[in-house]
């Protein structure tokens, strides 16, 4: 946590104060907010042998935090994610932590705890309904894979009708890299 006036560190922030299920120490550096509702979205990553990602929303109107979906995947450094009109899209790309994330404690920093880029590991995309279960939300609705890559900052995501008219396509704007040099050289 930072002092809002001086920006001096004043303590550690934990998402568990938002919801008891948000137990992980990692999340996106850039939460996303809906420009109309003001709702804020992010993910919570609890590393371990089976690391758990939890996608959540904080309602601007009620202050209530809802976990929209929970799934297991390898722990990775994900600086940002995507938000479209109806979906939260989290891509777990090629920036995996060593020792299932425990190396962050050992190295005392994130970058030195990321494994070397592995060109054989594809990126995995998780598409989550933005609505809570109480609102009829369906949680995790799709998983896709794409070529191996890394992305630091996401740019934009939007939805459009599929070319054949059978559904909706999600278009994600991002710059990808075929290595981790952008991180390692910073």
Q: In the numeric block, which tokens belong to residue 111?
A: 């970058």
pLDDT at 60: 96
Contact by Cβ (8 Å): 94, 118? yes
* Percent over 70 (pLDDT), the chain: 100
Which parts of 10-153 fold into alpha helices (H)?
A: 103-107
What is the residue whose two structure tokens read 């804020």? Answer: 40
Q: Give the list of residues 6+ apart from residue 44 with CB closer than 8 angstroms, or none.
A: 15, 22, 23, 24, 26, 27, 53, 54, 56
pLDDT at 93 over 90: yes
Instruction: Please give the backbone phi and psi of residue 164, each rounded to the nearest 5 degrees, phi first.
Output: -90, 0
What's the CA gap between 52 and 74, in Å, rounded? 8
Q: What is the pLDDT of residues 97-144, one digit of tens each?
A: 887 777 777 777 888 888 899 999 999 999 999 999 999 999 999 999
87-92, strands of its sheet edge to edge: 82-83, 87-92, 123-129, 140-146
pLDDT band at 10 (very low <50, low <70, confident <90, very high): confident
pTM: 0.91
Q: Flag whether pLDDT at 181 surpasses 90.
A: yes
């Amino acid at each position: 946590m930072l002092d809002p006036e001086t920006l001096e560190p004043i303590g550690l922030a934990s998402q568990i104060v938002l919801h008891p299920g948000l137990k992980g120490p990692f999340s996106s550096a850039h939460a996303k907010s809906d420009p109309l509702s003001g709702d804020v979205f992010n993910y919570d990553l609890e590393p371990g042998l089976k690391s758990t990602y939890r996608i959540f929303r904080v309602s601007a109107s009620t202050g209530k935090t809802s976990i929209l979906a929970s799934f297991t995947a390898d722990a990775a450094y994900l600086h940002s994610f995507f938000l479209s009109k109806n979906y939260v899209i989290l891509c777990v790309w090629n920036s995996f932590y060593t020792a299932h994330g425990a190396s962050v404690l050992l190295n005392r920093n994130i970058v030195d705890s990321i494994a070397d880029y592995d060109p054989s590991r594809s990126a995995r995309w998780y598409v989550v309904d933005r609505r809570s279960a109480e609102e009829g939300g369906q949680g995790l609705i799709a998983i896709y894979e794409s070529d191996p890559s890394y992305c630091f900052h996401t740019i934009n995501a939007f939805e459009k009708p599929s070319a054949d008219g059978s559904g909706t396509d999600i278009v994600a704007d991002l710059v990808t890299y075929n290595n981790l040099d952008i991180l390692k050289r910073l």
